[in-house]
Amino acid sequence: MSQTQLTEVKYGQLLSMKSTADGFKESCFYLMNQLLKETNEENYVLTRVDLMSVIISVGMFSLELYLKIISAMNNYKEIGKCQFIKTHNLMLLYDDANISDQVSFVNDNTEIKFANSELESFLSLQKDGFEEWRYSFCSNENINIDFPMLSIILNAFQNFVNDLMDKEYIPTNKQLKDIKEHSISL
């Protein structure tokens, strides 16, 4: 485990974290599809930096949450605490999740296959993606993303977390109360 600051969540809150990650992922895909429906001109999409920064920020945050869920679940098994490192850096989260040996399992859940090196290359290039895209208005440089690859990775990690929770997430009634305490009313 890394020497950086840790965040601890209650075991019962992992389901809420997963719902949040899924919501960000679905929002990312919905916004991208809406943007693509507006026009068939690819250049139009590329000029909509206002929407692209939101779309990619939401996707990156979803990926971050999936990695934090995996770390929290792994740490719960190992040390009895649902904790993850407090960072937005995707490479640090990936390393902390300790799933490099399980990436082939992640790959099996995607329609399009990718190699471990592709995943690690993407995460390395986009390690600060959430912050870079969230603050893209501050940048004097072009920032780039392989959106099709982000989509593949988001789907893969969503499926991985779904499978992980189906197999290993067994909260007690007391732990489930943490979900109710955290519910949101509109």
Say if 183 falls within a structural domain: no
As to burial, measured by CB atoms within 10 angstroms (0-12 exposed, 13-18 middle, 19+ buried), residue 26 is middle
- Within 8 A by CB and 6+ apart from 9, the residues are 17, 72, 82, 83
pLDDT of amino acid 57: 94
Per-residue pLDDT of the chain (186 residues; tens, 9 = 90+): 446 799 999 988 898 899 999 999 999 999 988 887 766 655 555 556 678 889 999 999 999 999 999 999 999 999 999 999 999 999 999 999 988 776 665 666 556 666 778 888 999 999 998 998 888 888 777 778 888 889 989 998 999 999 999 998 887 777 777 666 656 667
Residue 22 structure tokens = 């899924």
Number of domains in the chain: 1
Asked, for residue 95, whether it belongs to a domain, the answer is yes
| DSSP class of 4 | S
Answer whether residue 179 is part of any domain. no
Is 176 within a domain? Answer: no
Range of the structural domain that residue 120 is part of: 6-169
> Where do we find the tokens 């290359």?
121
Would you say residue 178 lies in a domain? no
Per-residue pLDDT at 1 = 45
β pairing state of 6-8 and 83-85: antiparallel
- Compute CA distances 63 → 93, 146, 170, 185, whole Å: 10, 14, 23, 25
Give the pLDDT confidence score for residue 135 in this predicted structure. 86
